[in-house]
């Protein structure tokens, strides 16, 4: 999973290559008519950007698994581990970076995948009804963390490169969701949230919460 990674995510290479070829060909025949195609190419380029991030130094920090806006912070039921938990949700729109990063250091104990619907990922019901892929990560100090990738209204592909037994490092890229989505993080109730509703966060650098 620690693949060589330039600032354009590998998930976007085929899309960008096709867009460049089509736009260049259109320019050759008619420069004016190629303008919309170049705009689409620029959109694809910005969507699949994947800049490096600076990890925070706090060892007890849980970092954001995705870029976006906080749409939920509070107590909720973790249906995967059957427990009450602190839930923090990050909504990604089409202009956010869509690489997903591990929020903690740990080992993946289990992975779940559920086919589902494609409601707006900013809605609470998306957590239970949309297509989703979840990881149960046991941290190096024994904390249980559930990290759930959720497809959105126009997202149609969740990519997850981790499976049971995978070792994840905090900030490591482990997945990608195409075209608008959400990531939910479930933490023990004694974790302390460090973000608020509406706050913008960056994957791999913003601290979502701290373990006690």
- Is residue 71 classed as helix, strand or coil in its secondary structure? strand
Residue 49's alpha-carbon distances to 29, 97, 114, in angstroms, are 29, 6, 27
Q: Which two tokens stand for residue 131?
A: 């297509």
Task: Name the catalytic one among 102, 127, 133, 181.
Answer: 181
Cα–Cα distance for residue pair 70/199, rounded to 1 Å: 5
Q: Which two tokens stand for residue 35?
A: 């303008």
Secondary structure (DSSP) of 112-152: EEE--B---TTSTTHHHHB-EEEEEEEETTS-EEEEEEEE-
Whose CA is closest to 51, among 8, 100, 2?
Answer: 8
Active-site residue, 34 included = no
Using only the alpha carbons of the chain, give its radius of gyration: 18
Active site residues: 181
């Amino acid at each position: 999973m620690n693949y060589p990674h330039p600032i354009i995510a590998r998930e976007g290479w085929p899309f960008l290559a096709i867009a460049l070829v089509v736009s260049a060909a259109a320019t050759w025949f008619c420069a004016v008519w190629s303008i919309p195609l170049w705009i689409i190419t620029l959109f694809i380029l910005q969507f699949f950007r994947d800049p490096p991030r600076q990890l925070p130094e706090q060892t007890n920090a849980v970092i954001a698994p995705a870029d976006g806006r906080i749409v939920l912070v509070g107590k909720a039921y973790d249906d995967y581990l059957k427990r009450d938990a602190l839930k923090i949700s990050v909504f990604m729109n089409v202009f956010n970076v869509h690489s997903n990063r591990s929020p903690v250091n740990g080992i993946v104990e289990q992975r779940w995948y559920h086919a589902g619907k494609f409601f707006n990922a900013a809605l609470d019901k998306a957590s239970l009804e949309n297509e989703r892929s979840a990881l149960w990560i046991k941290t190096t100090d024994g904390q249980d963390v559930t990290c759930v990738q959720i497809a959105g209204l126009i997202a149609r592909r969740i990519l997850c490169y981790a499976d049971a037994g995978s070792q994840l490092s905090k900030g490591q890229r482990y997945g990608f969701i195409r075209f608008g989505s959400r990531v939910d993080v479930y933490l023990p109730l004694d974790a302390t949230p460090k973000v608020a509703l509406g706050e913008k966060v960056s994957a791999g650098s913003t601290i979502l919460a701290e373990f006690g």
